[in-house]
Amino acid sequence: FGWWDHVKPAPLDPINGVTEAFLADPSPDKINLGVGAYRDDEGKPVVLQCVREAEAKIVGCEFLESVSASVSSKLVEESVKLVYGNNSNVIKEGRFAGVQTLSGTGACHLFAEFQKRFYPESLIYLPDPTWSNHHNIWRDAHVPRRTFHYYNHNSKGLNFAALMDDIKNAPDGSFFLLHPCAHNPTGVDPTEDQWSEISHRFKVKNHFPFFDMAYQGFASGNLDIDAKAIRIFLEDGHVIGCAQSYAKNMGLYGHRVGCLSVLCSDSTQAVAIKSQLQQIARAMYSSPPVHGVLLVSTILSDPDIKSLWVREVQVMANRIRRKRAALRDSLEKLGSPINWEHVTNQVGMFCFSGLTPDHIDQLAREFHVYMTHDSRISSVISTPKGNASSLAFSSNES
């Protein structure tokens, strides 16, 4: 009695808030552009053929704890190859600690807890802007957050000079979170040359790069090209942390399959770090579920199914590019006076449209088009008849 009287409702998550407003709208023309997962032309989630094939292969498999450990290590073994490269020395020499995680969110959270445990005084530098949950994750791990410049609202591109200054001005040995490709929410990535400069400055400052890889394959369509930033840092001899998610590039959002890897100086250190990561996970959720990881490890370790996946990633990335081109084309044909070049310059699932909060409210009110207040829209949701013109109309107002 009275125990929980002081508990007030938590503020709405910006992304879930959009979904709630969308669901409450009775209009048959409504459209939710706030969705953060891949969709087909009818707005439905897609089950990849490689997942179907893996599913057929694991039918009848015993879902026992004894399966779980070996499948988990297979997942880690295959996941690190995807980010660090098949022939990377860190893998050959066992200089990494890797664990299966509850998708990308769980990987970030586990790293944040690990950071707090072994660098209790440290901060995390997050890009401005970033996926909103990064702030929640490091806040809940009691790691103070700072932001570094990333997006330039005028150019709708990267604010490279300010980013480099922030790296320089952060205290030596700071932790930085980087999106290696398809930055969420802006769709703006550094070029290869810029990544090299960032890597060099990290070296000079002795900063720790933590890469959050949630969209490998979605930027270029090629898994290796999308890992280029990480490979550049690897070449430069950095100790790296990396969170990986299969939610988007395998369409396995609901299965929560991910991986956290932390590079180490040798294989003995790797054993110690892995045991600490496992201990932290043990207190949170003991061990991760086994079904999704069986799917992912089957896809990654069967050469035929893997090459099917590689092709399907390419198909999804191509479709994202076509959708961006079609949106820009429609807006231009409708005579919008705004420059929409950024729609096709940006990459990945999200388009940072540049609409103002007033436009966004007007779009929801008058046209039943929903998106987050930062103006991020999904680049894979089809625009039903009439809605492209509503975007153009709204922008004409500015």
* In the complex, minimum distance from the CB of residue 245 to ligand PMP, in angstroms, rounded to a whole number: 3
Nearer to ligand PMP, 228 or 368 (CB): 228
Rounded to whole angstroms, the Cα distance separating 177 from 197 reads: 16
258 binds ligand PMP (CB under 6 A): yes
Whether 238 contacts 205, CB under 8 Å: no
Q: Is 214 in the site for ligand PMP (CB under 6 A)?
A: yes
Place of tokens 């997050």: 126
Does position 104 interact with ligand PMP (CB under 6 A)? The reply is: yes
SS3 state at 61: coil
Considering only 53, 113, 189, 212, the residue that binds ligand PMP (CB under 6 A) is 212
Position 36 contacts ligand PMP (CB under 6 A): yes
CB-nearer residue toward ligand PMP: 188 or 392: 188
Active-site hit among 189, 212, 228, 309: 212
Is residue 261 a contact point for ligand PMP (CB under 6 A)?
Answer: no
For residues 136 and 134, what is the distance between their CA atoms, to the nearest angstrom? 5
Catalytic annotation present for 248:
yes
Long-range pairs, 268-277, Cβ under 8 A, ≥24: 269/95, 269/97, 270/94, 270/95, 270/96, 270/97, 271/97, 272/97, 273/97, 274/97, 274/98, 274/99, 276/114, 276/117, 276/118, 277/97, 277/99, 277/110, 277/114
Contact status, residue 249 vs residue 215, Cβ threshold 8 Å: yes
How many Cα atoms sit within 13 Å of 192 on the Cβ side?
7
If one asks whether residue 226 binds ligand PMP (CB under 6 A), the answer comes out as no
Among the residue ranges 62-70, 99-107, 161-169, 301-309, the one whose residues contact ligand PMP (CB under 6 A): 99-107
Q: Is 103 in the site for ligand PMP (CB under 6 A)?
A: yes
Binder to ligand PMP among 88, 100, 159, 184 (CB under 6 A)?
A: 184
Which of 72, 105, 174, 378 lies at the binding interface for ligand PMP (CB under 6 A)? 105
Q: Can you tell me the distance from the alpha carbon of 358 to that of 378, in angstroms, rounded to the nearest whole number?
A: 19
Nearer to ligand PMP, 72 or 390 (CB): 72
* 3-state SS, residue 183: coil
What amino acid positions are annotated as catalytic residues?
131, 212, 248
Binding site for ligand PMP (CB under 6 A): 36, 103-105, 131, 179, 184, 212, 214, 245, 247, 253, 258
